[in-house]
A and B are shown apart, each in its own frame.
Chain A
Amino acid sequence: MKKIVLFFAVFYLLTVFIHSPGVMAADEIIIGYTSDALTMDPANHRERTTETILRNMYDGLVVRNSRMEVVPQIAESWQQLDTLTYDFILRKGVKFHNGDPLTVEDVKFTFDRIIQEGMIDGQTSPRKSLLGPLKEVKIIGPDKIRFILEKPWPVFPAFLPWQEVVSEKFVKQIGSGGMATQVNGTGPFKLVEWMRGTRIVMERFEDYYGGSSDIHPVGKARVTCLIWRIIPENASRVAALLSGEVDIINDVPAHSIRQIERNPDTRIMTVNGTRSYFLALNNTRPPFNNVKVRKALSHAVNVDLIIDKILNGNATRLNGILSPDAFGHNPNLPAYDYDPSKAKALLVEAGYNKGITVTLDVSSDLKDIAQAIAANLADAGIDAKVTVWEMSVISQDWKKPVKTRDMFLTSWGNGSLDPVGIMTPVLRTGGRGNFSGYSNQKVDALIDNAMVEIDRQKRASYYQEAESIINADAPMVFLWLPKEIYGVSARLGGWEPKADSQINLHDAYIKQ
């Protein structure tokens, strides 16, 4: 009898102890996110994921809408006076979380703190280079501020959404050490709790000025609470969404898409990313210094099949380096069709009757794709040996001016969606990401002209012409632009993913 009573007592305790599924509140959104913020100081990090989190608490002068256009946020408007000067007019009535009004001095202080050396406890802001040649910020009126560049840099407005405005008084009061953990921004949410590595909790800022007037709805945030739960492992993040513990997850692996779509309470949302994938070919030595061999390679890779089978269709094919969403994209570039016999013929024309033997370098995360490409190449008589590396090791080797290897499957991100962010580093002579060692004087001249051209149409035409030349030179095999894949709960509304992978939740709400 005693034993039976004991058994039931234990069973009762267990059932009390084991919880029921998490019931989420109607006015909070929980995000299952891949990584924690490095810091709460918007000027003292260089990481996209940290910025995504902070951007919900800090607003900037400008912001990008869901179509990735740069629109005013704290600024009311701006004007480019010449290639070196930009004037911004600030909005009125913007307040920091502590109730202080935002002033033009705060904006100047924000940018000085980034561009001047040693402003963060003796360290220089790692975001300095994101402001390019910005030389000086001048106050020219009670709500007017001037940005002066050292040399022309037409992407200045496109790079500005990456900077958030801080309060001068607050920074001076708590110091840069305090800024690492405390937040006093002008954004729609305030920081409540940061449990390192576990979660960041934010609550609605009731005095919010409403956000960019170009992004509707304008007003304070629609939910009262945001919780960012840090779940690095893909399978666990997907599990958290499926079990109803979170509303949004980022970085959904392609193989989990079906599982999320099958669940009636969850769905998939995708958007074109900003990272272009390509197979860099060493243009500086045989066999890839011969344009025919490079063209043969472009015909030998079955890009569509790889997108379909390995990426489950979640990528857009590229015929050049630029994303279709980027400024200056040339939609009329010819595609290199998959045609192994044509590839073989081109190799014979180039004098490689017996085919070629090359190595294909790749970082471990792209190993499967590299092997698929190598299999494609084999059909065209190209024997490619896949060599797997740690990314930081192999990319450093390929960035050296003297290239000693054959092929490199890699990518380059272009969050600015302006050709300056990708064509200059990847295709201009001596660019930091010019893995192929490609050099064409005409292309260089077009890129340089576009750099100083204010007329947007002319500027776009320079890039389009350069893209045509590059397409014909085939310095690399252009592959695809992957989609960013998110899993969301059916109860979430008012949110759509953005190409720059930011998750702004000002307009998001929970359906009743």
Chain B
Amino acid sequence: MEILFKRLIRLIPVLLGISVIVFLMISLTPGDPVEIMLGDQQVTPEMEQAMRRDMGLDLPIHERFVRFLYNAAQGNFGRSFFHRRPVMEVIMERLPATIELTLCAMLMAIVVAIPLGVLAAVKKGTVYDRASVVMAMIGISMPGFWFGIILIILFAIHLQWLPVSGRSTFALRVPSITGMLLIDTLLAGRLDSFIDAVKHLILPTLTLGLAMAATLMQVTRASMMDVLQQDYILFAEAKGLKRHRVIFLHALKNALIPTITVAAIQTGQLLGGNMIIETIFGWPGVGSLVVKAIFTRNYPLVQAAVLIYVVIYVLMNFIADILYTVLNPRVRI
């Protein structure tokens, strides 16, 4: 707990630094939210100025920045120019969908990648190993937008097993408690809604999880091969321990450390939302929201989103650190 607290304290200068950089970057990028909002209309300069004032853009940049910091310190990140509501409200509405998808994809990736990676390392040089390397290369190289569309064409149009997009069917809706449908449907005790939510999750999870699984498998394989050559493994085998005991009890624990690091970093990145997957599957996460905000120069939304990303990233690294100590007691944080 104390460590977590220390980490959070250390987060403050990071957040401050990041907010300066983001504020400057987005404010200095050409493009004007007022122009974008007015679209194709002839307006008088007074009308344009009134709109600029209303959005707080009539102030000089340094004043805007001080005001932003002052408000942010009080937890007020401003209003989204286009939603006209507090940005935190807008982001928080969408965050649960992103978290749900990311965790499912990560779970799928881990369940698939670690056993395959271990197997490939143990059976190094065999046909199986080579096949897994090729598969991993395909998984990494296949673009998400392409793979996602192929899945939709196959499973949603031709076979009609799964829905094209969205998170749930209207008729099977449940009250929102956590915002994560898998949990909400179970809390409501609705098995039919739960199954409906799972069906909507399958294709985006596969699309997102495939690339993650491919990377994790390669990392696990490489790390496992390295560990298997260590003296202590040789010693364990010499002692006459059974092969699977050596692999799973002695080797895997150590081999997983790089895998966890990579998984944590990937999860941190994906919790920021994956714009492409979210757009293809109509998944209402933060990725598509933030990308649109960047294009429309929705400054408050972009600033708040980046700060949330930083917090998530730091937390994910912290979780990874804790997992190291569980796997390898020699590691201290």
Which residues of A are in contact with B by a Cβ distance under 8 Å? 17-22, 36, 38-39, 41, 44-47, 117, 120, 123-124, 126, 128-130, 177, 180, 193, 195-199, 201, 227, 229-233, 235-236, 239-240, 242-243, 245, 390, 392-393, 395-397, 399, 412-414, 420-422, 424-425, 431-433
* 16 pairs, CB–CB < 8 Å, chain A vs chain B: A18-B161, A19-B162, A45-B82, A46-B39, A197-B288, A198-B282, A199-B170, A232-B288, A233-B281, A236-B282, A239-B153, A243-B157, A243-B160, A413-B39, A425-B41, A432-B41
Q: For the complex, is B295 an interface residue (Cβ under 8 Å from A)?
A: yes
Q: A229: which of B29, B93, B160, B166 is its contact (CB, 8 Å)?
A: B166
Q: Does B54 contact A (CB under 8 A)?
A: yes
Beyond the given A231-B282, A236-B165, could you list 17 further A-B residue pairs with CB under 8 A, ordered by the A residue number?
A17-B195, A38-B83, A39-B83, A45-B84, A195-B173, A196-B94, A197-B282, A197-B285, A198-B167, A229-B282, A236-B152, A236-B282, A243-B160, A393-B30, A421-B41, A425-B42, A432-B38
| Chain B residues with CB below 8 A from A425, complex form | 40-42
Q: Given the complex of chains A and B, what is the CA–CA distance between A376 and B225 in angstroms?
A: 60
B47 interface residue per 8 A CB criterion: yes
Chain A residues contacting B79 (CB-CB under 8 Å) are 123
Contacts of A36 in B (CB 8 A): 284
- Bound Cα distance from A440 to B44, whole angstroms: 20
CB contacts (< 8 Å) of A235 on chain B: these are 149, 152, 280
A396 contacts which of B30, B51, B295 (Cβ < 8 Å)? B30
- Which B residues, 46 to 95, have Cβ-Cβ distances below 8 Å to chain A? 47, 50-51, 54, 79, 82-85, 93-94
Q: A201-B170, A229-B282, A425-B40 are in contact. Are A399 and B35 (CB under 8 A)?
A: yes
Per the bound structure, the CA–CA distance linking A120 and B54 in Å amounts to 11
Contacts of A198 in B (CB 8 A): 166-168, 282, 284
How does the 8 Å CB contact mask read for B275-299 relative to A, with 1 for contact and 0 for none? 0000111111100110000011100
Which residues of chain B are near A413, meaning CB under 8 Å? 39-40
State the Cβ distance, B235 to closest chain A Cβ, in Å: 39
Interface pair A128/B47, CB less than 8 Å apart = yes
**Complex partner residue of B165 from A20, A129, A229, CB under 8 angstroms:** A229
How many residue pairs, one in A and one in B, have C-beta atoms under 8 Å apart? 165
A230 touching B84, Cβ below 8 Å: no
Q: How many residues of B contact A (CB 8 A)?
A: 57
Interface readout for B148-183 with A: 1 if CB under 8 Å, 0 if not? Answer: 010011001100111111111110010000000000
Q: How far is the CA of A242 from the CA of B199 in the complex (A)?
A: 19
B238 at the interface (CB under 8 A from A): no
Contact partner, A130, options B30, B36, B41, Cβ 8 Å: B41
CB <8 Å contact, B166 and A390: no
C-alpha gap A199/B168 in the complex (Å): 9
- Asked if residues A245 and B163 are in contact (CB atoms below 8 Å), the reply is yes
Whether the pair B42, A233 counts as a contact (CB closer than 8 A) is: no
The answer to whether A393 and B284 touch across the interface, beta carbons within 8 angstroms, is no
For the complex of A and B, 9 pairs with smallest distance between CB atoms: A197-B284, A392-B31, A21-B160, A425-B42, A18-B161, A413-B40, A231-B282, A240-B164, A393-B30
> What is the CB-to-nearest-CB distance from B11 to chain A, in angstroms, rounded to a whole number?
29
Q: Least Cβ distance of B169 to chain A in Å?
A: 8
User: Do B164 and A431 touch (CB < 8 A)?
Assistant: no
Most buried by B among A201, A235, A392: A392
Which chain B residues in 289-328 approach chain A with CB under 8 Å? 289, 295-297
Tell me whether B50 and A128 are in contact (CB under 8 A): yes
Measured CA separation A21–B160 after assembly (Å): 5
**Quick one: given A38-B84, A193-B170, are A232 and B279 in contact (CB under 8 Å)?**
yes
A129 contact set on B, CB distance < 8 A: 38, 41, 43, 47, 51
A231 to B173, CA, bound (A): 18
Residues of A close to B279: CB separation below 8 A? 232-233
Give every chain B residue within 8 A of A41 (Cβ-Cβ).
Answer: 84
Does B97 sit at the interface, judged by CB under 8 A?
Answer: yes
**Residue contact B156 to A239, C-beta cutoff 8 Å:** yes
Contact present for B41 and A390 (CB under 8 Å):
no
Q: Please state if A396 and B50 are interface contacts (CB–CB under 8 Å).
A: no
CA separation between A123 and B84, bound complex, in Å? 9
- B32 adjacent to A432 (CB under 8 Å): no
